[in-house]
Amino acid sequence: MSTLRLDDLKQYSDTLRTRHGDVLTLRFVEPRDTDELQHYFRSLSTRSRYNRFFGAISELPKGLLHDFLQVGERERFTVVATMMVDGFETIVAEARYAFHADTSTLEFGLSVDDRWQGHGVGTALLKNLECRAAALGAEHMFGDTLRSNDTMISLARKSGFAFTNHPDDWKLVRFDKEITVAPKEIPCASWRLAALSRQAASPSASA
């Protein structure tokens, strides 16, 4: 299902809302975001970065930064949630997800700017990822987090995920959710994209 081209992806963005109604734009990362993305990760608290990457890093290492900027390659995607701050489009959250076709699963990780944590951004982002998972044809979505990460564990629990041990690392816990969403329940850009690519593959299906 690697038929999506970056040219196509650029047009698609979603709107997320914080608990208090602030509007965020969720879109695929673009090459022009390189500096802003690195700035976002540098600005995260040490604890948030540790929780996101399970290790002490001060910024994205070059290879990982490169991976983050590849959208659609090997069914891996990065999305950024942005808002206008003093006239600049500023990244306030990000998520990276990978579709594993062999197991029909979507694996993901995410983070929210420390100043915006606790405002419902993580909850809204997870919902959106659920739609993206469904659009890609995933039957389950899962992520891993440190056992000490109470916030992520609480967010996952409230979002309907179940917990299992990580297969290889006792310090991590895996949260997993069966995907049951229908397109109308949680609209997202990926769903529209998937519908369009199906129509393109089979024009009569749209009639």
Residues at the contact surface with ligand COA, assessed by CB under 6 A = 48, 51-52, 109-112, 117-123, 143, 145, 149-152, 154-155, 158
Q: Name the nearest CA neighbour of 83 among 13, 147, 26, 42.
A: 26
Smallest gap from Cβ 171 to ligand COA, in A, equals 13
CA–CA separation, 47 and 2 (whole Å): 35
Helix 189-201, helix 121-136: angle, nearest 10: 10
Which C-beta is closer to ligand COA: that of 9 or that of 126? 126
Residue nearest to ligand COA (CB): 122
Question: Shortest Cβ distance from residue 122 to ligand COA (Å)?
Answer: 2
Alpha-carbon distance 108 to 76, whole Å? 10
Q: Burial level of 3, CB count in 10 A (0-12/13-18/19+)?
A: exposed
In the bound state with ligand COA, the residue whose beta carbon lies nearer, of 110 and 138, is 110
Please, which residue, 29 or 152, has the CB nearer to ligand COA? 152
Least distance between ligand COA and beta carbon 197 (Å): 28
Nearer to ligand COA, 175 or 193 (CB): 175
Comparing CB distances to ligand COA, the nearer of 90 and 197 is 90
Q: How far is the CB of 48 from ligand COA (least distance, A)?
A: 4
Rounded Cα distance, 174 and 161, in Å: 9
Q: What token pair was written down for 94?
A: 């990000």
**CA dihedral (77, 119, 22, 87) positive or negative:** negative
Beta carbon of residue 94, minimum distance to ligand COA (angstroms, whole number): 9
Q: Which of 164, 132, 33 is nearest to 89 (CA)?
A: 33
